[in-house]
Every structure is written in C-alpha cells, then in structure tokens.
Amino acid sequence: MHHKKQEALLSCRNVSFHYPNAPESVLKDICLNIQSGRCYCLTGPTGSGKTTLARILGELAPDGICKGEMEFGPELEQAALPVGLVLQDPEVQLLASSVGAEVAFGLENLTLDPAAMPDRVTAALEAVGLKKPLEFPVDKLSMGQKYRLLVASLLVMESRLLILDEPGAQLDPEGLQHLKTILKQLKNTGIAIILCEHRPDPLLEVIDEFWQLTTDGQLTEGRWSGTKPNASYPPRPAATQYGGTLLEVDGLAFQDLHGQLLWENINFVVRRGERVAITGLNGTGKTTLLRCLTGFLTPHAGTIDILGGTPEPTRLRGRLALLFQNPEKQLFENTVREEVAFPLKRLSLPAQEITERVESTLAELGIAELAQASPHMLSYGQKHLVALASVLAPRPELVLLDDPLAGLDSFHSREVVSLLSRWSEKYGMSLLWTSHEPEADFGWAHRALQLKGGHLAAL
C-alpha cells in the first residue's frame, strides 16, 4: 500500500540556538517535520534543551541567537493560534484570577460572540477533567490543576499543534489518564502534539514517534524502552536509630475559601532521622499541609508542635527547610553560587565554611558546573536542583519537600533520592516528602502515608 506523503504542518531546517554568555549552543542543526494527527515525544536529560526547542516551535524563543529555518504549512498559517504551548511551570502562563476567565481569555482576543463563550469554556474544562466552578480562584488550584487549566485554554482556541512540556511532572495518574483520552481525540481531529517528557510510559499509547535530544545539542530519532525503576536506594535503617520527635501533628483541619473541608483530623509524627512520604492526587491538599507546618498558613483546627514549639518562620530559621514545588518561587540571586550561599550568610557562618559548603553541596547534586550560571536561565529541572542545594546547604534538622523530583530525569531523580537518604543518616536530618505519584517507589522512606478523601492514612 502506498501513501501519499502528507504536507508537513511545520518544518525545521538546521535550527540552532545559543544563549547569551553560554560557552556553546544548546541546540545544533535541528531538523524535523511535524505531520497533522501525529504525536511526537521529545526526550533527553535534564538541561538538554527540550524546553528551549519547545519555545522556539511555539514562537516564544528565549533571548539568544536563533539560526535556521522554520516553515508553517497552510493549515498552521490559517489558524487563529497556530501553536499552543503549555510550559513546564504553569504559573508563568496564567493570566486571569478565575478559572472561567482564564479559559475565556483567548476567545475574547478572537472577538468571539460572548453568548457562545460559556458553552465552549465549560466543554474545554470538562475535556481536561477540571470540575471547578467558573468563578473558582486560579491561585487556589494545585500545580497539576493549573496545568490542566492551561491545556483547556489552548483547546478552546483550537490550536493545530499542541506542545506540552513535561506534563508528567505536574499531573497525577488520574490527570495523565484524562490527558491520554484528550490527546487521542485531538489526534483524530488532525491536531499534532509534541510531548517533552522524561517519563512517557503512561502516554505510550498515543505516541507515534520519539526524538532524543543529546547533551551536545543534537536531535536524533529515538525509541523508548520504558522508565528504569528507581534503583540503588540506601537500605532503611532500623527503627531503633530514630531520635526524639521533631514534629507532632494532632487533629489538624483546613477549610478552603468556600468553607469546604480540604482535610481533617490529620495526625502523625516525624522523628529525628526519619524519612516520611505523603502521597496524594493533585488538589488533595499536600502543599497546603506543608504550608501549615511552616506557619505560612493557619489551620482551622488542631495543633502543630514542630522543633519544640509552634510554627513560626523566624524561630525555625536554619532548623527547618521547605523546598517549594515551584522552584521559581525561591530563586532570586544572580548566580547559582550566590543562591546557595545566601541562607548560609544569614546564619553568619565563616566565609571559608560557606565556600566549602556551597562547593560540596553543588558537587553532590551534580551541578558544580552551573556555579556561575544565572539560576533564572536554567531548565526547570536544573532550577529544582539549585533550589534543593540552597535548602540543604544549611543542613537543617527537618526538610519539607514538595514534589522534589518534578522535572528531573531518572538519573537525577536517583541522585537526589540517594543524596537525601545519605544526608538524612549522616546529619540526623528528617525528611517529609510529598508526591503526586501514588505508584512511585518509596523504598527510600521509612513510612508512606496517603492523603485521600480529606484524611491521612498509612499507605
């Protein structure tokens, strides 16, 4: 059977990209053809340039020198929004304060009849499984829900090429199942899809081709053999090695803006040197729980005894650390070295000790070569590693980690887990770690808990 070759939706010829002050180009002579109704998966190590290429294809190239040719086919030329791009960090793309206004924003730019908007907005939200009132505040959505919202805002605009940057980093299994269903439907209508993804296993059914970006900026035809299991975790130490209680939570409850209980009667303890995982789907309140423990939010009932007192950020400085789910929120210095040194300076440590701690922490996380780089110019995964380095450098007694593996490839994920486990044992550091992946391997943890239906129970 002979098939006539379809005209490309989008073509790239010898596309290269060089960031200002970078030693060499992050992308070199990239050539690709994108056909209607097909799904492509772009893989590659953390920092290999996947997001940079996605932004170039979405005509949102970052500052730098871009060379080569990119050609839109007729179908893209005629579309109102030819390419829809959802970046790995949803928060940098959200514009409106409510769910309905966010999805309707693009329709307003297309000057659609206002009477036709509600039905299209509701249909787009239903398509991504985001069952929230149109007036629901965007800032009260979980990271995974924000990602779904952005997908809905592109679906409503009827883009012909959809680029999704690391959906697996933000979506739980339920969200990925919704996404798989959506992608199948989109392919059937002729829409092309590019997934930039470290762990595409849940979406293999919809993927037609794999591309691999190498660390030297080349693009090759790839294939997928499955995500390797997280291996080589240190063994769990015996319970007798635990120290005293560092955190005790009793009868905790929290209500949302509408007076609905997010969770209630939360009870657990964390002991010195203990590693505890908390898993739960997007929107179950994992981040809210961590914010209550640090004193950033006030629960509606219950008590928290953390490091010998109530949660007060000033009292806990240097002893308690929090890694945000979104690394952008805790990066502000000009270089990676200065970023990691900042919390050490606030503890008034000697200059020589600060230098040694910064260098050793960056080396253990495998990012020593980024010391002079701007943290704001790094990939999402690299930003996560820098934020983690700044959190760990003061060697706190208790570390709260909100989805710390989001955006990391399997190699860096194993490195982070191994490092945290070693430091936990070496310094008696306790870890409380949240994850939106209920099927993840928590072999590094002493206990795993699940937040589900407003209650916390052993997994």
pLDDT at 353: 94
> Each residue of 186-204: pLDDT tens digit?
899 889 999 998 888 889 9
Mean pLDDT is lowest, of 232-236, 276-280, 299-303, 453-457, for 232-236
Q: Bridge-partner residues for 12, per DSSP?
A: 32, 70
Q: Are residues 315 and 365 in the same domain?
A: yes
Select from 391, 384, 382 the least CA-distant residue to 429. Answer: 391
Statement to judge: residues 36 and 62 lie in one domain: yes
Give the alpha-carbon dihedral of 84, 87, 91, 96, to 10 degrees: 0
CATH code at position 253: 3.40.50.300
Give 45's contacts (C-beta < 8 A, 6+ positions apart). 213, 215, 409, 411, 412
Higher pLDDT, 220 or 459: 220
CA–CA separation, 290 and 302 (whole Å) = 15
- Domain boundary pick from 197, 222, 247: 222
Q: Is residue 180 part of a domain?
A: yes
**How many structural domains are present in the chain?**
2
Q: Please give the average per-residue pLDDT across 35-60, as a whole number.
A: 90
Phi, psi of 280 (to 5 degrees): 180, 150
- Confidence tier at 90 by pLDDT (50, 70, 90): confident
- Cα dist. 314→236, 306, 346 in Å? 33, 13, 12
Structural domain range at position 30 = 10-222
Cα radius of gyration (the chain): 23
Domain shared by 204 and 293, yes or no: no
Q: How far apart are CA 447 and CA 348, in angstroms?
A: 35
Question: Is 105 among the domain residues?
Answer: yes
Q: Is 60 exceeded by the pLDDT of residue 355?
A: yes
Contact 311, 293 (CB under 8 A): yes
Does residue 379 surpass a pLDDT of 90? no
The strand pair at 245-255 and 261-271 is best described as antiparallel
Same domain, 214 and 89: yes
Q: Are 458 and 449 in contact (CB under 8 A)?
A: yes
> What single-letter DSSP state applies at residue 299?
-
